[in-house]
Chain A
């Protein structure tokens, strides 16, 4: 409760919370805000209005205008919110699940198992994250074709390592505590000690770090999409909407809307997570407590 009060009183975290709420509402009510056409096969595919190449400025029919190929920007931004949540939550869930299993095995087993696992983690971390994900996505797309799943797999494959390290470090400290010893003395098995006693006491820092990473995963996915290695063409996805602007750089003064609307959507979404994460870090990190007047 104290945490919640501190949270709401701080103007920056409050702003973050409000922004996030707005995005949640948009995502939930997407079918009402931007109703798909009755004959539309997949609501995530943005309807096209004609086949003209040149973008059209905002007008009554298209509040945000249309981008190259007459994709409706308003529809794309609204349904893109759903894609953002979907991508962010699934990637975070999978990376945490993998990181948690690998990290806890390494920490609990120790010895050569730990040594090998941590070397593997180091290998994955030796790659610049986005470049590695881009490469993996291209490798997968060469086999499977375009789609949001390839980008997500690529980001998960190179994203789990941070959590593996975090959870390992936390388990190593919890492992030595007296209640673990007590549990072992009472004859509890390895798995039971790990699942019932150690992980619940070690998982909190990882969970906080992970939930705040949703924004940055959405950012990375948008970057993949922007470079043409994300969703299939026409899928409601912010990164891809912006990539349509690449062919119109000399004419951007006239077609400002093709960058500004989808760009602001990504910026505000990521900003919301970062504002909340920043405030949470300040509140939870005792070393910085009292640093703010």
Chain B
């Protein structure tokens, strides 16, 4: 197993180098004037100052020199200056990341729980009505564009019924959170509210997060449901399951103790795909619900063609995805001995 993990770790720097090259190539679509935002907060108006700036940061130098200078900055955590955010890109990421993490965590728990239970249920009752219903649900869910789904939720539960609000906090709650008495431990409103003992703020934050969390997660439910179902069906036909039945075990024990642990292995492998869907999904979800996190900011910057900002965000997301995939592979090797041998 260690050889497998070490081999994966050795491939990591090559992959990161490739990612940086691709981002750097996209940067070359910008003129040297625009690329100056990589190093300074505002671009001078006077012609001569601009030339001096370009010379100072070597924006007219050969490409490899520019690349080395840029990568040096990126490694130090400096991704340039965001026009839309009016602050350094890395600062914007650090500021907005907790909000997005909070949304992802609140949608992640139901994803795994609902997806797996429905998938198992569907497989155990193959071709019965419950199987048909969950399968239709999964395939319609899989085809539903996130932005249409989110807008329909808003139409029904916000505009029509008024049950759930949009945004991240109500005004009064936002004032509480920003006051000095309230300590921001994590930047995640629901967690901070509990740590500060403000149950009213917690409830308010939770009400704001319900609809976006559902919107963000239903795609993943559909995916996990399908994978769990087909893997469970395959497992239930294996000889050892028949043996367990022949031993006279109850059907519940057969399913829960014998079939389920093995059937859930492939579900781990789609962890990476799930992460992709979440990273893609937050952009649209946060935009629709006006939930101010990384995704919302990314969409806003993209709409205003603030290329420096979105390239910084994309680089950050790619690194998250690479590390996430690595974690999934290592986890899979740990729980499934068959992978280690190959």
Contact = CB atoms under 8 A, between A and B. Distances in A.
Our verdict on whether A and B bind, yes or no, reads yes
Contacts of A245: 151
Contacts of A182: none
Given A141-B305, A143-B29, A252-B154, A127 B148 contact: no
Contact of A139 (B19, B29, B127, B283): B29
Contacts of A239: 147
A271 B143 CA distance: 5
A140 to B, nearest CB: 7
A128 B276 CA distance: 5
Contacts of A227: 283-284, 287, 299, 302-303
A228 B318 contact: no
Contacts of B303: 227-229
A279 to B, nearest CB: 10
B144 A126 contact: no
A227 B160 CA distance: 25
B302 A127 contact: no
B280 A270 contact: no
Interface in A230-278: 239, 242, 245-246, 249-254, 256, 259-260, 263, 266-267, 270-271, 273-275, 278
Interface of A is mostly: helix
Interface string A120-137: 101110111111101111
B18 interface: yes
Given A120-B18, A138-B302, A252 B151 contact: yes
Interface residues of A, number: 58
Contact of B144 (A142, A260, A267): A267
A129 B305 CA distance: 19
A177 interface: no
A128 B279 contact: yes
A139 B288 contact: no
Interface stretch (B64-72, B244-252, B306-314): B306-314
A215 interface: yes
A266 B302 contact: no
B166 A267 contact: no
Contacts of B288: 246, 249
A287 interface: yes
B9 interface: no
A135 B310 contact: yes
A111 interface: no
A123 B22 contact: yes
Contact of A134 (B30, B158, B230, B302): B302
A156 to B, nearest CB: 15
A267 B143 CA distance: 6
Interface of A: 12, 119-120, 122-124, 126-132, 134-143, 215, 219, 222-223, 226-229, 239, 242, 245-246, 249-254, 256, 259-260, 263, 266-267, 270-271, 273-275, 278, 287-288, 291-293
18 contacts: A126-B15, A127-B314, A129-B276, A135-B26, A135-B314, A138-B307, A219-B143, A226-B284, A227-B302, A229-B302, A239-B147, A245-B151, A249-B158, A252-B154, A252-B159, A263-B151, A266-B148, A273-B143
